[in-house]
Amino acid sequence: MECAHLAIAVKVSQPTGLKSSRRSRNLPSTVSEGFKENSNSFRKLKCQVKGCEESSSLWCCCLCGEIYCGRYAKAHMKSHYEENEDHSVCLDISTYAVYCYKCDEYVVNDSDAGSIQSLRNFFQQLDPNYHLLDIENDKNHSRKRSGNFGRSQNYKKRKPIHPKTVGLRNLGNTCFMNAVLQSLNNIPEFSKYIQKLPSLDKMQVKKPTPKTHTASTSEESKFKSVGLNTRSNPEDVDSVLLVEEFRKTLVELRRSKTALSPASLFAVIWKVVPNFRGYQQQDAHEFMRYLLDRLHQELLTLLPAGSFTLPRNSLTGVKNSVVTAIFGGVLQSEVHCLECGMNSVKHDPFLDLSLDIPVVKPKPTSTHDGDTIPQVIPCTIADCLRSFTDTEELADSERYTCGSCKKRQRSTKKFWIKKLPNVLCLHLKRFRWSSFIRTKIETYVEFPTTDLDMSAYQLNNVRRTRDNTGSTEYDLAAVVVHHGSGAGSGHYTSYAIHDNVWYHFNDSTVSVCPEETVTKSKAYILFYVRRELKL
């Protein structure tokens, strides 16, 4: 939104305590001392409150230039505003987003003097990752000016970012979207397929005939059972194509050398999914489900169908798109009547599995002094999968109506995976309702980066389910992580592997990270790619 407070709240074009960079985008042939000095200063930046060591989630006050930590750290920037009401506008030094506390909104306009853009430019020049991407952009021009910089040993050591791994700008609490987009973009088979689609701007959409509509309704009802929402107004399909903006965004991510703004895609999401209107924090998993559902439905209705649709799923009868061909699997649920022994079997499609995090009570252990201390028992992704597939007795309120007994009886239920997907998406249920409050489960869940074997959870002893399924082993491709305490607050980032290198995607900032950092994260969504993936 446009902020009316900029005339009073925006004065500075650089923060206090840092010199203006001597380098512009026209880089000299050697790394200047000024650039080294300021880049080192950028890395050492921390909240200016005495005793606060926060170095992430830093914001710069646009009136006085002082730097404080944000609300998802120790909220010293908010305290600074509360003590000085004119100091209401601040800039995130990592994402360059601007926020006004008086408006309680992100800001899109600038002051008459252009001070906000000057402040952005200042931090962009200091940020070594951002700057090195500019170096990559301008390397041909640099060679023309002088010969040494392109061969500089110093430059080679400091070049951390692969050209294809660029960030997405935060438009105002849109980290939930950015984390999911970066994860999906780093699943090569899916990303490449979407990018190769023809331009769909003027593509006509099929008008469903009564027969087609009936079939579509049947398909939609099957997906509702696994949480795929179909509440979008059909008229939206005729006026807005989410898949086209999604395609453009993935293409731009591949081409761009610097952080990209997903504003056009977000605007379309606002139109087709009213739940995501506004700039409040949203749930990344919920967004992913809406996104994949919408892409699936649009791809099924686009003309021409020929090259861009796939055969129906033989187990469920549902039409396949690239979404279901890559993420789609089939669950078999077995309900067993404890009175007569009758089994009821049902097949349901899924695009992801939502797994409970088992509550593990710590075991007391003795010390030499006779005291007892709790022993921390690690939870693994295998524990979550076992909990999902273990046989459980249904509660009285969920009693099954037995087809043989003709009445509701005590029964047990068990899930098997009948068909494994090409990309296995595992959602860890970290949020739960307790006394009308949605709380977060902070339990660390250990997960492998390679060799996740799903054979133990697949329906066994049925040859036809194993003939064409391929490998049951999966390797990790991406992870979405939620930082913070509540679903409606906090911050989302993601990790993804590209050319055997792990990257951390934090909105517009992309950095190389060790695998150990990934495995120590408290994962929210895990994307595993099957070995020998075939569409």
Q: Which active-site residues does the annotation give?
A: 175, 491
Closest CA to 246 of 321, 351, 320, 312: 321
Q: How far apart are CA 18 and CA 84, in angstroms?
A: 22
What does each C-alpha distance from 283 to 63, 85, 287, 328 come to in angstroms? Answer: 33, 32, 6, 21
Query: Is the Cβ–Cβ distance between 183 and 478 less than 8 Å?
Result: yes
**CA separation for the pair 270, 221 (Å, rounded):** 24
With contact defined as beta carbons under 8 Å apart, do 352 and 425 qualify?
A: yes
What residues are paired with 424 via a beta bridge?
528
Closest-CA residue to 166 (of 143, 186, 144, 139): 186
Amino acid residing at 28? P
Token pair of 455 as six digits: 């054979």
Q: How far apart are CA 449 and CA 381, in angstroms?
A: 11
Ramachandran angles phi, psi of 150, nearest 5°:
-60, -25
Looking at residue 92, what DSSP letter applies?
E
Residue 343 token pair: 């089994």
Q: Letter for the amino acid at 490? A: G
Q: Where are the alpha helices (DSSP H) in 127-241?
A: 128-137, 139-145, 153-158, 175-185, 188-195, 210-224, 234-239
Listed in sequence order, the residues at least 6 apart from 314 whose beta carbon sits closer than 8 Å to its beta carbon are none
Residue 290, H or E segment: helix 284-301
CA distance 89 to 100: 4
Quick one: tokens of 153? Answer: 């040993």
Q: End-to-end CA distance of the chain: give it in Å, rounded.
A: 44
